[in-house]
Amino acid sequence: MTALIGTLVSTSQTAQAQALGSKPPEIDSLAVQIVTDNQLIKFIPTEKRDGLTIERNPGGNLSKDAPPSVDLLGEWGLSMHAQSRRDNEVRNILIDFGYQPSTLLNNMSVLKIDPASIDAMVLSHGHYDHFGGLVGFLSANKGKLKTGLPFFVGGEDCFCTRETAAGQYGVLDRKAIMEADLSLMMAEGPAVVADHAFTTGKIALSGFEKPLRPSREKVGVVNGFGCFPEKVSPAKNTGTFIPDDFEHEIATSFVVKGKGLVVLTSCSHRGVINTIRQAQAASGVQKVHALIGGFHIVPPLNDDYIQQVIAAFKEFNPDYLIPGHCAGERFYDLVRAEMPDKVIHSAVGTRFVFEA
């Protein structure tokens, strides 16, 4: 763990993450497994495509004589496990934590993902369906995780209190992170993660995209929960809820040798096209091998808007698009019709293996 702790730039429990620099790390192979998502797909065999193996895990303790007593669970939330290899090095990163700890813990157990093997964790943004499983996960694995395990967020704004039209939408528990002996890594800019990956840093808003912003945020700390006003833009410190701009949202990316970028979007509240552009700008790598996660193209966004997004995807010409979570069913229908050989639906337990 010494090399990974070396990514800290201060000795405190909260630090600025190591900046990416001019040359991103390259890896030989990458396996991204969907730990939590909305959908389960069973009994479809493993499939091989150019540079990609799709391993579909049926889950559960299937038996000829009895129904399964343990099985994978789906929910409204997202969590992904990424295992990368470079020469003899292996790194394991857990990205987001789903909505409920019971789902996260169950699925990790079924998929045989060992929490003790995790080298870094990344939270894409401060929405409950991405961090809801975190505190329960930390509690269940107390003493099992690596000491000083890096925990990456895109900035202080990630800790602000949020609400949706339906009401309160949770707040990230900073105290639980500290008590679990994690190293809180602030990654406002592109940052190296576990030697093999990088975060995008803040994603610039540009072009035609107008993604939905379904929540509001409030700056301040109440009963130990919330974001520190002095560390957030003064314009946001109004004392009341304001529209959420998701300035802190980050994506996690890898460069697979000879193939290009694999971008784990998580939710794309800043725009899925903007997310790709930010990963390209941060890494200097233009070729997009695969895009995995939520694209946040949901109603009331209409078909004309969706077609603009699809046209932009065609310009990038990625090898694979793997939409899940909040990608949107109408988007999935239209993009599958336009780019049938590139689109693969995400599902809980599916493992996507990319190789050089």
> What distance separates the 2 farthest-apart alpha carbons in the chain?
63
Residue 5 pLDDT:
36
Q: Return the structure tokens found at 46.
A: 């493993």
Domain annotation covers residue 69: no
- Check whether 59 has a pLDDT greater than 90: no
**Per-residue pLDDT averaged across 34-55, rounded?**
93
Domain annotation covers residue 62: no
Residue 326 pLDDT:
94
**Per-residue pLDDT averaged across 152-166, rounded?**
96
281-315 residue pLDDT tens: 999 999 999 999 999 999 889 999 999 999 999 99
Strand partners of residue 29: 85, 355
96-142 residue pLDDT tens: 999 999 999 999 999 999 999 999 999 999 999 999 999 999 999 99
Distance between alpha carbon 120 and the CA centroid of its chain, in Å? Answer: 12
Nearest residue to 349 (alpha-carbon basis) of 24, 29, 39: 39
Strand partners of residue 343: 321
Higher local confidence (pLDDT), 296 or 4: 296
CATH of the domain at 250: 3.60.15.10
Are 284 and 24 a contacting pair, CB within 8 Å? yes
Task: Determine which helix (DSSP H) or strand (DSSP E) holds 312, and give its type and residue range.
Answer: helix 303-316
Q: Return the structure tokens found at 276.
A: 């790709």
Residue 44 pLDDT:
87
How many other C-beta atoms can be found within 10 angstroms of the C-beta atom of residue 102?
Answer: 14
How deeply is 72 buried, as exposed, middle or buried, from its count of CB atoms within 10 A (0-12, 13-18, 19+)? buried
Residue 65 pLDDT:
73
Domain annotation covers residue 2: no
Distance CA 80, CA 142 (A): 21
Question: 174 falls in which pLDDT band (50, 70, 90)?
Answer: very high
Nearest residue to 194 (alpha-carbon basis) of 22, 25, 15: 25
Strand partners of residue 27: 256
Strand partners of residue 290: 262, 320
Domain annotation covers residue 97: yes
Task: Determine which helix (DSSP H) or strand (DSSP E) holds 105, and give its type and residue range.
Answer: helix 101-110
Across the chain, mean pLDDT equals: 93
Nearest residue to 123 (alpha-carbon basis) of 164, 54, 182, 204: 182
Residue 284 pLDDT:
97
Distance CA 81, CA 92 (A): 7
Domain annotation covers residue 65: no
Residue 127 pLDDT:
97
**Per-residue pLDDT averaged across 146-163, rounded?**
97
Domain annotation covers residue 10: no
Residue 10 pLDDT:
38
Domain annotation covers residue 141: yes
Residue 22 pLDDT:
86
**Per-residue pLDDT averaged across 161-174, rounded?**
94
Domain annotation covers residue 145: yes
176-196 residue pLDDT tens: 999 999 999 999 999 999 999
Residue 43 pLDDT:
84
Are 343 and 316 a contacting pair, CB within 8 Å? no
> Residue written as tokens 């809820």?
241
**Per-residue pLDDT averaged across 339-351, rounded?**
95
- Check whether 329 has a pLDDT greater than 60: yes
Domain that holds residue 213: 16-57+74-355
Residue 42 pLDDT:
83
How many other C-beta atoms can be found within 10 angstroms of the C-beta atom of residue 225?
Answer: 16
- Check whether 74 has a pLDDT greater than 60: yes
The amino acid at residue 142 is K
In total, how many domains does the chain have?
Answer: 1
Residue 35 pLDDT:
98
Residue 175 pLDDT:
95
Q: Return the structure tokens found at 291.
A: 């895009």
Question: 12 falls in which pLDDT band (50, 70, 90)?
Answer: low
Nearest residue to 187 (alpha-carbon basis) of 137, 131, 253: 253
Residue 4 pLDDT:
43
Q: Return the structure tokens found at 53.
A: 């193996």
- Check whether 347 has a pLDDT greater than 90: yes
